[in-house]
Amino acid sequence: MPWVRIDGDELKVDDARIVWSPAVCAGTDGIAFWLRASGGRSVMHLAGWAPGEGAADLDGAEVRIETPGPDAGIDSRFLTGALVRFGRVSSERAVVSVDATVEALEPDDHATAVLEADLICTVSPVAERDHCLGCGGPLDRFAETRDEFVAGFRIQQRVLPVLCPACRGSVDQPRFCPTCGTAFAPDQVSVHGEEGRTGYTARCAQGHVFSGALPG
């Protein structure tokens, strides 16, 4: 039975999942991973990097996260450090245990809490979105390599734009599914707020969902 405990108090876990993406760190091929566990009103998230070519290479691995920053937390409190131990891992399922410290509730309080978790997670790669939102055309030739920090690891990842150069600045809403290139039906595109910008949620006939804002 999966669980998360903070100083011995157990929190309900309804769902736990890991998504991963190929990433290079210090010249070594590996994968960046993002773990999320939720239940009731409690949500734990953390990220990290490990050497390997796919999720199954995490089998039996240990990942120490020393400077997680905002990439690890629970219930609006940051984790100050974590040790992630992977048990049996396949391309679809992972058994994971986490030992971590949680920052104090109050800014002037230096006491930390102990977090422990045993989780059974679904596993999937980050969805490939290689079609332009404006015209549905392929985006592979516009890919870039970008440096970023994930939980203290400086990684390099292949990044695709959401619009091709021809559509940039001329598209007012998502028109084609970025996953499969199918045109969105007009009644399947809705508008919402996205960090001060206009955001969209759209579902294609194949069931893929896009949610986000257009660059601009």
In angstroms, how far is the first alpha carbon of the chain from the final one? 46
Contact (CB, 8 A) for 75 and 54: no
What pLDDT score was predicted for residue 1?
A: 78
Contact (CB, 8 A) for 115 and 91: no
Is residue 2's pLDDT more than 90? no
Contact (CB, 8 A) for 130 and 105: no
Query: What does the pLDDT look like over 4-50, one tens digit per residue?
Result: 999 888 888 999 999 999 999 999 999 999 999 998 767 899 999 99
DSSP 139: -
Cα distances (angstroms) measured from residue 170 to each of 112, 181, 195? 50, 18, 21
Taking the C-alpha atoms of residue 96 and residue 115, their distance in angstroms, rounded to an integer, is 14
The residue among 156, 114, 171, 128 whose CA lies nearest residue 27 is 156
Query: What does the pLDDT look like over 117-173, one tens digit per residue?
Result: 999 999 999 988 899 999 999 999 999 999 999 999 999 999 999 999 999 989 989
> Can you give the three-state secondary structure of 68-82, one letter per residue?
CHHHEEECCEEEEEE
Contact (CB, 8 A) for 188 and 173: no
The two tokens of residue 191 are: 């508008």
